[in-house]
Structure 1
Amino acid sequence: MTTPTAPPILDFSPFYGNDSEAKAKLVEEVRKCCHYNGFFQITGHRVPLELQKRVMECSKRFFNLPLEEKLQIDKNHNSFNRGYELLRSQMLEAGTGPELKEGLYIGEEIPEDHPYFLQKKLNSGPNQWPQNISDKEEFQKTTMEYYHAVFELAKDVLGVVALTLGVESSFFEPLTEGAVATMRYLHYPAQPKDEDEKLNRGIGAHTDFGCVTLLLQDEIDGLQVLDAPSGKWLDVKPTPGAYVINLGDLFMRMANDKYKSNTHRTISASAYRIAASRANPRNTPPITVQDMVTSAYKDSYGRAEKYKKELEAKKVDVGPALTAVGA
C-alpha cells in the first residue's frame, strides 16, 4: 500500500516556458494529483511575492478593525454576497459547531446597472469596502490588483488541467469569459482552550463548491486534506509564495467525476489566508452553475443558523462568547 503523502509542491514555471519535456512532466504530475485527491501546490507562478505580502497585510488590517466597523459592510445586508462574513456564520460539516472563521468577500466590481446585477446573477454586485480602514485607497487598490493577478493564474491552472485531459490548454478559455470569481480574505481566530475541537474548527470537513480554488496561506498551518484510501488527515504545510490548488465540485461534474473534488478542513490556530475560487454563471446541464452553488451556500449557512436557533431553544447563551472571540 502506498504511504499517504500531503499534496506535492510543483514547479509551475514550465507552463510558461519552451521546454516541452519539463512541461510534459508538469502535466503528468498534475494529472496524478487530479486523479488521486485533487490537491497540489505550485511555485514558479506569475504572482509576485511582494504583492502577496502586501495583500496579506491588507487582510490583517481589515480583521484588526473593531467588530462594529466590520459589521458596517455585513454581506447579509445585500443579496450578492459581497462584504464581511461574521464569525460562526457558516457550517460546512454537519455535527460540528458553526465555523471559527470570519471573512471578507470580494469580486470584480460589478455596478448596479450591469446586466449581471440586474439579472441577480450569482455573486454579482459592487464590492463593499471598509470606510475607516487605514490607507483606504491603498487597501482597495492592492486588493483588486491581487484579485486580477490570481484570476489570471486560475486561468493558467485551468490551462494545465486541460492538457491533462488531452485537449488544448485554451480549451476552458470560453468558460472564463465573463466569469465571476470570488476572493475571500479569511481569518481563523485561535481555538478556545479546553473546548471540544470538533465544535471549534476553522472550517469543517467539506469539498469546495466551485471550479478551482487557489489558496495563499500565511506561516501558520492548519489546513488538512483527507487521504481517502487510508482515511488519514494530511497536514498541508505552508510554503512561502506557494498556492494550494484544489478542484471543486463544479469541475468534478464537468469532468464526469474523472477527477476528484476532495474533502479538506482547517483546524484553527490563529491564521490568515486568502482564497480565490471560481464560479461561472453558465449552464452545465442538467443543472446551472448558479443553482448548484447557490444551493450549497444555502445549505452551509442555513445549517449554522439552525444550530444557533437550537442552542437558543435550549436557553444556551452564546452571544457574549462569540463577541469575545471576534473582537
Structure 2
Amino acid sequence: MSARASPPVLDFSPFYGEDSAAKAKLVESIKECCLYNGFFQIIGHRVPIELQQAVMRCTKRFFEMPLEQKLEIDKNNNTFNRGYELLRSQMLEPGTGPELKEGLYIGEEIPEDHPYFIQRKLNSGPNQWPQMIEDPEEFQRTSMEYYRAVFALAKDVLGVLALTLGVHATYFDPLTDGAVATMRFLHYPAQPKDADEKLNRGIGAHTDFGCVTLLLQDEVDGLQVLDVPTGEWLDVQPVPGAYVVNLGNLFMRMANDKYKSNTHRVINKSGRERYSIPFFFSGNPDYLCECLPNCRKQQEAPKYGPITVEQAVTAAYKESYGRAEKYKQEMKVKLETIASPVVMAA
C-alpha cells in the first residue's frame, strides 16, 4: 500500500461467495491494510442499508432530547458503561481538552441474574433505555436489531483476519463466543470555526482499546487517520452504507505488533452536527490473549505476555476517563485561584 493513501474501500462480499480467487484477493487486500495502518472500509456486507438508516434516525432522535431527559439514563448510574455520557467526559489525547462529543452506550441485554453481571465482567449489565423518547419501543427494537447485525459482521471480519494469518476462518471462535461488545451512538456538536482546534477535538488522537472496531458514519466527515510514514492526517470520507474497520490495541498485541492499531481522531470542521455509531468488539472477557500464529519468527519471543480481554480493556478505560477527570479538577482549581481575592498584608 502506498504512503498517503486513505483507507481503501473493499468489497467484502467475496467472503460469503464461492469465488476462491476473489476471496483470496480480499484476504490479501485486508492483510496489506493490517500491515500498513490497520484501517479499511468495507461494502458488500450483510447489514441492510435500511437498518443502518433506521438506527441513524434513532441516534438523531435521542440527541434531540432535552439534556435533563438524557441525564435520566446517565452512565454514572452504573459501573458497566451503559447509558448517556455527557459532553467532555472523556479525554483520549493528553494535552488537549476533554472531548466535544456526547454519547449513548448500548450493549447486549445482560440481566442481573446472568453470570457476567454477577461476576462484574467487562461492560456487562442491562441497558438503560430512554423512556421519554418518541416511540421508545421502536427505538429499543431497532437499536438491538442493529447491534446484533453488526455483532455478526464483526465475527465475519475476524474470520477474514484469521485467514490473513494463515489459519482457519474459525480460529477466533473462542474469542467471539460469549464476546462483549459496546455500541455507542455519538453526537458531535458543530464546532465553532474560530475555536482552538487542539482544545475542541471531537475525539482526540488515540488508538482503540479492543480487538476490532466497525464504524458507521453519517454524511458529515471529520474522521482522520494518521499516516505514520509521512506524519500527515488522512481524511476518511464517508461512503454510504460502508463500515470503517480498524484494529484495536488488543489485536495488535496478539499480533505481536505485526498488524497495526493506528492513531485516529475526529475534528468536526464542517460547521454541521456530526453523528456516528462505532461498534467496539472486545471479545470474551475471559479469553486469554497470546501471540497469534505466524506473528513472530522462529525462536523470537513474544513482545507481550498473556492477558485477558477484560484486563486489557478495563485498564484502557480507566486511563482515558481518569485523564478527563484529572483535567477537570485541575481547571477547577485554576478557576478558583483566579476568582479568589488577593489578601494584602496590612
TM superposition score normalised by structure 1: 0.95
Aligned ranges 1:276-291 → 2 under 5 Å: 276-280=279-283, 281-282=285-286, 283-284=288-289, 285-291=305-311
Aligned ranges 1:111-126 → 2 under 5 Å: 111-126=111-126
Match of 1:274 among 273, 277, 281: 277
Aligned ranges 1:103-252 → 2 under 5 Å: 103-252=103-252
Cα deviation, 1:22-68, whole Å, max 9, x if unaligned, reads: 00100010000000000000000000000000000000000111001
In 2, the alpha carbon distance for the partners of 1:58 and 1:316 equals: 40
Tell me the percent identity: 75
In 2, the alpha carbon distance for the partners of 1:316 and 1:188 equals: 29
User: Number of matched residues?
Assistant: 317
In 2, the alpha carbon distance for the partners of 1:136 and 1:186 equals: 18
Once the two structures are TM-superposed, the CA of residue 309 in structure 1 deviates from its matched residue by 0.9
Once the two structures are TM-superposed, the CA of residue 175 in structure 1 deviates from its matched residue by 1.1
Is 1:302 aligned with 2:322? yes
Q: Which runs of 5+ in 2 are unaligned?
A: 290-304, 338-346
In 2, the alpha carbon distance for the partners of 1:198 and 1:179 equals: 35
SS in 2 for 1:310: helix
Is 1:260 aligned with 2:236? no
Once the two structures are TM-superposed, the CA of residue 194 in structure 1 deviates from its matched residue by 2.1
Do 2:150 and 2:279's aligned partners in 1 also have CA atoms closer than 8 Å? yes
Once the two structures are TM-superposed, the CA of residue 307 in structure 1 deviates from its matched residue by 0.8
Letter in 2 for 1:166: G
Moved more, 115-124 or 188-197: 188-197
Once the two structures are TM-superposed, the CA of residue 287 in structure 1 deviates from its matched residue by 2.5
SS in 1 for 2:42: strand
Once the two structures are TM-superposed, the CA of residue 197 in structure 1 deviates from its matched residue by 0.5
SS in 1 for 2:280: strand
In 1, the alpha carbon distance for the partners of 2:240 and 2:36 equals: 24
Q: Which runs of 5+ in 1 are unaligned?
A: 318-327
Measured on the aligned residues, the alpha-carbon RMSD in Å equals 1.3
In 2, the alpha carbon distance for the partners of 1:24 and 1:203 equals: 35
Letter in 1 for 2:189: P
SS in 1 for 2:325: helix
| Structure 2 residue aligned with 1:322 | none
In 1, the alpha carbon distance for the partners of 2:241 and 2:185 equals: 16
Q: 1:165 to 1:79 in 2, by over 3 A?
A: same
Q: After TM superposition, which residue ranges in structure 1, 4 or more long, deviate above 6 angstroms?
A: none
Letter in 2 for 1:91: M
Is 1:55 aligned with 2:55? yes
Do 2:3 and 2:227's aligned partners in 1 also have CA atoms closer than 8 Å? no
Is 1:311 aligned with 2:331? yes
Q: Which structure would you say has the larger Rg? A: 2
Moved more, 28-37 or 290-299: 290-299
In 2, the alpha carbon distance for the partners of 1:71 and 1:299 equals: 24
In 2, the alpha carbon distance for the partners of 1:193 and 1:17 equals: 47
In 2, the alpha carbon distance for the partners of 1:286 and 1:46 equals: 34
Cα deviation, 1:207-266, whole Å, max 9, x if unaligned, reads: 000100000000000000000000000000000000000000011111111100000000
In 2, the alpha carbon distance for the partners of 1:277 and 1:20 equals: 30
In 2, the alpha carbon distance for the partners of 1:300 and 1:232 equals: 24
TM superposition score normalised by structure 2: 0.90
SS in 1 for 2:73: coil
Once the two structures are TM-superposed, the CA of residue 3 in structure 1 deviates from its matched residue by 4.0
In 2, the alpha carbon distance for the partners of 1:56 and 1:94 equals: 31
Q: 1:294 to 1:126 in 2, by over 3 A?
A: same
Do 2:225 and 2:265's aligned partners in 1 also have CA atoms closer than 8 Å? yes
In 2, the alpha carbon distance for the partners of 1:84 and 1:133 equals: 13
Once the two structures are TM-superposed, the CA of residue 192 in structure 1 deviates from its matched residue by 2.7
Letter in 1 for 2:212: V
Once the two structures are TM-superposed, the CA of residue 293 in structure 1 deviates from its matched residue by 1.0
Letter in 2 for 1:276: F
| Structure 1 residue aligned with 2:292 | none
Moved more, 141-150 or 72-81: 72-81
Do 2:88 and 2:101's aligned partners in 1 also have CA atoms closer than 8 Å? yes
Once the two structures are TM-superposed, the CA of residue 303 in structure 1 deviates from its matched residue by 0.7
| Structure 2 residue aligned with 1:320 | none
